[in-house]
C-alpha cells in the first residue's frame, strides 16, 4: 500500500509540474486513489464520495472568510489606498536613514493587514515605491528586494488567507491562527527593517530631509487612519470575542464600502460590479482547489497514508526539534514549486497529526507552515513576488533575486526563531483564551 500511495503522490506533483491545473491534478489522483482502494478491498468504487467531498470542501463556514477578505481588500485597493498608506508610513518613519525603504516595509505590513495577499502587496506597493526608490538613488535590485521581501509579512499579519485554509484543513480555530500570526508578522517586518538599516551602511541610501507642514501631517494621518480602521476592526473584533473571523470579514466588506464610497469618495457605485467580478476570479480558483483536494485527501486517508507517514517520520526521529527542521526544509522546497494554498491543503492534514503527537501546538505548527510557504513567494522558480517586483523594476528575475537574497536570509532566520520559540506564536492566543493545543 505504501508503494501505491507514493506513486499517487509522485504522480500528483508530476502533473502539477508539467502544467496540469492543480485542481485537475488533485481530482484525478484522488479518483485513482478511490480506484486503488476499491481494488485492495474488493468493494465497488466509492463514486458518491466525490460529490460529497467536493461539497464538504467548500461548504465550511470558516472558508467564507476567504472571499470576504478578498472582496474587502479589492474594494480598498480600488479605492486608491496605496498612496495613503505609503504617506502614512513615511510620516511614521520620519527622517530616519533609508526612510523610503523603511516606509516600504511598514506600508507593506499595513497593506498586508488589509488584503492578506503577498502578490497584491508587491504589485500595489511596488508599482509606486520601486520607481520612487530608484529615482531617489536606490539600486533597482535593492528596491525590488525590499518590496518583494516586505510583501511576505502580509499573509502572516491577520487577516491571512493561508491561515484560513490551514485552519479549515485541520479543524483548528481561525481566530487562534490569526492571533498566532500577530507577533510573527510584526517580528518579520522588524527584522527586515534591521536589514535595510544594515544595508544602508553599504549603500548610504538617501534619507528624507524635508519637513511636512502641520496641515499636511493632519491630512496624512486622517487619510491613513481610514484604511487602517479595517484591520483594527478585524483584529479587535476577533480579540474581543465580538465576532468570528467570517463575521469580521463581512464587517470588513461593509467598512471598506462605506470608507471608499462615502468617506474618501474614491470609489463609485458603478465600480462595484467590476470589483465583485475580480474577487470571484481571484477566490474561485482557490476554493476549487480546496474542493478537489478533499477528494484527494479522502482517498489517501482511506488508504492509510497519514498512518504510514506518521510511522515513517517517527521511525526517523522522535525529537520534535529535528522534526520541525525537516518540515521547514520540506516546506521551503514545496514553496519553490507550488502555490502555498495548495501545499497547505495537501500537507497540513498529513503532517499536523505527527506534530501534535510530538507535543507541538497545532496553532504553532500552522503559523510555521504558513510562514514557510509564504516565503515561497520570493524564492525561484515559482516566486510570484520576485517576478512581479522584477517586472516593475525592469530587470531580470535573476537580478531581482540577487536583491532579494539578503531579505530572504533574514526571513529564514526569523522563521527559525518562530519555529523554535513557540512563545512568539502562542502568547497572544493564550492570553485571549484560545486553545493552542
DSSP state letters, 129-154: HHHHHHHHT--HHHHHHHHHHHGGGT
- Of 155-164, 265-274, 379-388, 421-430, the least confident: 379-388
What counts of helices (H) and strands (E) characterise the chain? 21, 0
Q: How confident is the model at residue 183 (pLDDT cuts 50, 70, 90)?
A: very high
Asked whether the predicted pLDDT for residue 134 surpasses 70, the reply is yes
Give pLDDT, residue 398: 87
> What mean pLDDT do residues 108-130 have?
82
Check if the beta carbon of residue 362 is closer than 8 Å to that of residue 352: yes
- Of 197, 200, 120, the C-alpha closest to 153 is 120
Question: Band of the pLDDT at 187, cuts 50, 70, 90?
Answer: very high
With 90 as the cut, is the pLDDT of residue 425 above it?
yes
Whether the pLDDT of residue 112 is over 80: the answer is: no
Query: Percentage of the chain with pLDDT > 70?
Result: 99
Residue 172 to residues 5, 180, 412, Cα–Cα distance (Å): 26, 12, 25
| C-alpha span between 12 and 350 (Å, rounded) | 15
- The pLDDT value recorded for residue 58 is 77
Mean pLDDT for 242-262 is 88
Which of 264, 256, 346 is closest to 297 using CA atoms?
A: 346
* pLDDT higher than threshold 70 for residue 1: no
Assign 276 a pLDDT band (cuts: 50, 70, 90): very high
Q: What is the pLDDT of residue 9?
A: 81
pLDDT for 427 = 95
Answer for the pair 115, 76: CB distance below 8 angstroms, yes or no.
yes
Tens of pLDDT along 330-352?
898 888 877 787 788 888 988 99
Contact indicator for 324, 360 with CB cutoff of 8 Å = yes
Give the pLDDT of residue 180: 95
What's the whole-number mean pLDDT along residues 409-436?
Answer: 94
Q: Look at residue 240 in the predicted model and tell me its pLDDT.
A: 79
Separation of alpha carbons 257 and 22, rounded Å: 33
Residue pLDDT, tens place only, 50-89: 888 888 777 777 888 888 888 888 888 787 787 888 888 8
Instruction: State pLDDT tens for residues 253-265.
Output: 999 899 888 888 8
Amino acid at each position: 500500500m505504501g508503494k501505491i500511495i507514493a506513486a499517487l503522490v509522485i504522480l500528483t506533483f508530476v502533473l502539477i509540474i508539467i502544467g496540469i491545473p492543480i485542481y485537475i491534478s488533485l481530482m484525478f489522483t484522488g479518483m485513482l486513489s478511490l480506484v486503488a482502494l476499491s481494488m485492495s478491498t474488493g468493494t465497488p468504487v466509492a463514486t458518491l464520495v466525490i460529490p460529497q467531498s467536493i461539497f464538504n470542501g467548500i461548504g465550511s463556514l470558516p472558508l467564507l472568510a476567504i472571499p470576504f477578505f478578498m472582496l474587502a481588500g479589492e474594494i480598498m485597493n480600488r479605492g486608491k489606498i496605496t498612496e495613503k498608506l505609503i504617506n502614512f508610513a513615511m510620516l511614521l518613519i520620519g527622517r530616519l536613514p533609508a526612510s523610503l525603504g523603511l516606509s516600504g516595509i511598514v506600508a507593506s505590513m499595513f497593506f498586508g493587514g488589509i488584503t492578506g495577499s503577498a502578490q497584491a502587496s508587491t504589485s500595489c506597493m511596488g508599482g509606486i515605491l520601486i520607481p520612487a526608490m530608484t529615482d531617489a538613488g536606490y539600486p533597482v535590485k535593492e528596491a525590488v528586494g525590499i518590496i518583494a521581501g516586505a510583501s511576505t509579512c502580509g499573509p502572516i499579519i491577520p487577516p491571512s488567507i493561508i491561515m484560513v485554509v490551514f485552519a479549515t484543513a485541520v479543524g483548528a480555530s481561525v481566530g487562534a491562527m490569526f492571533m498566532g500570526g500577530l507577533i510573527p508578522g510584526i517580528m518579520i517586518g522588524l527584522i527586515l527593517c534591521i536589514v535595510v538599516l544594515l544595508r544602508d551602511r553599504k549603500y548610504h541610501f538617501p534619507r528624507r530631509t524635508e519637513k511636512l507642514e502641520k496641515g499636511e501631517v493632519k491630512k496624512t494621518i486622517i487619510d491613513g487612519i481610514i484604511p487602517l480602521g479595517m484591520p483594527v476592526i478585524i483584529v479587535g473584533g476577533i480579540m474581543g470575542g465580538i465576532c468570528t473571523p467570517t463575521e469580521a470579514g463581512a464587517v470588513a466588506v461593509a467598512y471598506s464600502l462605506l470608507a471608499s464610497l462615502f468617506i474618501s469618495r474614491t470609489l463609485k457605485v458603478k465600480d462595484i460590479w467590476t470589483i465583485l467580478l475580480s474577487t470571484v476570479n481571484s477566490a474561485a480558483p482557490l476554493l476549487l482547489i480546496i474542493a478537489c483536494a478533499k477528494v484527494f485527501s479522502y482517498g489517501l486517508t482511506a488508504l492509510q497514508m497519514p498512518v504510514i507517514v506518521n510511522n515513517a517520520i517517527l521511525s526517523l526521529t522522535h525529537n520534535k526539534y529535528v522534526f520541525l527542521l525537516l518540515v521547514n526544509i520540506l516546506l521551503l522546497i514545496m514553496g519553490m514549486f507550488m502555490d502555498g494554498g495548495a501545499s497547505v491543503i495537501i500537507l497540513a492534514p498529513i503532517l499536523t497529526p505527527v506534530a501534535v503527537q510530538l507535543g507541538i501546538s497545532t496553532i504553532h505548527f500552522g503559523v510555521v507552515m504558513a510562514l514557510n510557504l509564504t516565503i515561497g513567494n520570493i524564492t525561484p522558480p515559482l516566486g510570484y513576488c520576485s517576478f512581479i517586483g522584477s517586472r516593475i523594476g525592469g530587470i531580470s528575475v535573476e537580478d531581482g533575486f540577487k536583491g532579494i537574497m539578503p531579505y530572504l536570509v533574514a526571513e529564514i532566520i526569523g522563521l527559525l526563531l518562530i519555529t523554535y520559540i513557540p512563545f512568539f506564536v502562542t502568547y497572544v492566543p493564550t492570553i485571549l483564551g484560545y486553545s493552542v493545543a
